[in-house]
Structure 1
Amino acid sequence: MTDFFFPVPIEAELDPAVHRARLVAEAEREGLLDVAYRTLDTPVGSLLLAATGRGLVKVAFDRQDHDAVLLALAAEISPRILRAPSRLDAVTRQLDEYFTGQRRDFDVPLDFRLARGFRLAVLEHLPEISYGHTESYAQVAAAAGSPKAVRAVGTACALNPLPVVVPCHRVVRSDGSYGQYAGGEEAKRTLLTMEAA
């Protein structure tokens, strides 16, 4: 007969939350966790949040297929991805505050490695658009240093890896219509209406 040693009560070992917490702690201790993620229910649907050691690297809407987003992150950043909600506590708290009207901008480290060149220049400008205000694609193109690159601004906003936190929803067409949005037109309308209140 073989003896088994359980360092914690067997009931705790079988608890998925306890097991997951131990996995996360072990992965962090061994330097094996490159991307931590969690999901968050919000007024614009479920958001996938992912962070590296540098900061928040991805925010994705449910309609973008969270599993596909995680696979893309594994290919683009590292396959060492683990659901580790506590690593995203700060951004989760700030998003909760934002959606309840207690926060107007975000103060969390951002990892922009998924954007380069002009797209990055656009993303760096977006937080300068004040809460409750909008800018046209043409205005953003000029602010990013390429006044004729209006379509490129649209592409940069569509491919924004950090929507909501980096507020591409505040960019609209010159006629005031919403334009495209990764979370869908209804999500963009919800965000702009909330900020206008």
Structure 2
Amino acid sequence: MKGLSRRASVAFGAVFATSLMAFSGAQAIAAPQEGGVRDVDWHAATFEVPEIGPCPQQVVEFADGEAHLPDHLYRFTPERDIVFADVTGDGTEDALMLVECGVPNSEYTRALIGMTADPEVRLLGAVESPPTWTRVPDDIGVEPHEDLGQIVTANITDFETDRTYEKRYTWSDYYNAFLSLNG
């Protein structure tokens, strides 16, 4: 890179590394945590987020609970706690969190996502990701089930119909995803 300034060389290197990661499928995510998902500072971590409304699945770097990208704003849902439970049944505690995303200065679509740290922090997937901002998951719960392991519950508010209903999900090792138990 003879003739390039140091700043241009560093920028080129960063672009090249990011392109290489994207091409190879590598992901830059939060570092493994000795204590598991409870020890991750999720509001200041870098991790893969699933597709949420108009926002694509991608690795996002959060700072103070938000991630500002050129076309999208990701944020943790204000005043909502992260729920911890072994929802996959593998003996490792997982994290369930409400994350919103949208075009800046617009309505944000909210999704309930699952993360794990076994031992690396990684995305389990979207538990509930409504197709529109008018359906909002909230009030997360986890309850044991004799046959299905842990059941994840979320109340969904539908602003178009002014109706609230409960959805229930379980983890499927076969599909490596959360499955809805009530459609």
Q: Give the TM-score of the pair, scaled to structure 1.
A: 0.29
More helix by share: 1
- Which has the higher Rg, Structure 1 or Structure 2? 1
More strand by share: 2
Q: Give the TM-score of the pair, scaled to structure 2.
A: 0.30
Structure number with higher relative contact order (C-alpha < 8 Å, ≥ 6 residues apart): 1
